[in-house]
Chains A and B, each alone.
Chain A
Amino acid sequence: RKEVEQDPGPFNVPEGATVAFNCTYSNSASQSFFWYRQDCRKEPKLLMSVYSSGNEDGRFTAQLNRASQYISLLIRDSKLSDSATYLCVVMDTGRRALTFGSGTRLQVQP
């Protein structure tokens, strides 16, 4: 079983749509959680950290459920520029190494 699992997609959605991505992680000792986005052949860029209380940044909302070991990302009012691969990332307690999911590809269409 992979440490961080994501649906690879692709998710093809029209502009303006709301789309949700899910992710599960296997290590209950994971302590920090992030969503990164990666454009084709570019470096990962931090989108947002994920907190137990849930957090929102503009059109993006992230949720964490520690009991179910489940992380989600909601994107509202999708823009063409949101097209990218979204990476679910965890950091385990006592370590600084990031464990990446394989990513979910989003394609927003006009």
Chain B
Amino acid sequence: NAGVMQNPRHLVRRRGQEARLRCSPMKGHSHVYWYRQLPEEGLKFMVYLQKENIIDESGMPKERFSAEFPKEGPSILRIQQVVRGDSAAYFCASSPKDTQYFGPGTRLTVL
């Protein structure tokens, strides 16, 4: 059973470009979560989704960030017009219920 998969593992963008991060949950898991870890800081919750629904987006920045989990395909975290402060590790997790299992993360670097 493959774990949570994320791609790309490393992403470099210039200021003003768009970043798209993808997450495929573990087989059988219908809950997906996105977290961000800034350098030298702890993980911070961003958004919780189930198929085709955003359940809790209380941790999402109000502008430039969006997330989706379509009926088919991976969950996508989209960051528009990236700024240097968006440089971080973005981790996706999935769960069957309460216990969350994390993917390897995408390291975003904004130049």
* A interface list, Cβ under 8 A from B: 32, 34, 41-46, 49, 87, 91, 95-103
Contact = CB atoms under 8 A, between A and B. Distances in A.
A103 B31 CA distance: 25
Given A43-B91, A44-B91, A100 B33 contact: no
Q: Majority SS of interface residues in chain B? A: strand
Contact of A103 (B42, B48, B59, B101): B42
Q: Majority SS of interface residues in chain A? A: strand
Interface of B: 31, 33, 35, 41-45, 48, 55-56, 58-59, 89, 91, 93, 95, 98-105, 107
A106 B90 CA distance: 24
B56 A102 contact: no
Q: Could you say which of B31, B43, B48, B55 has the most chain A C-beta atoms within 10 Å of its C-beta?
A: B43
Given A49-B99, A102-B42, A96 B91 contact: no
Nearest to B41: A102
A69 B31 CA distance: 28
A91 B31 CA distance: 15
Q: 6 smallest A-B Cβ distances: which pairs? A: A97-B45, A43-B102, A102-B42, A100-B43, A100-B42, A44-B102
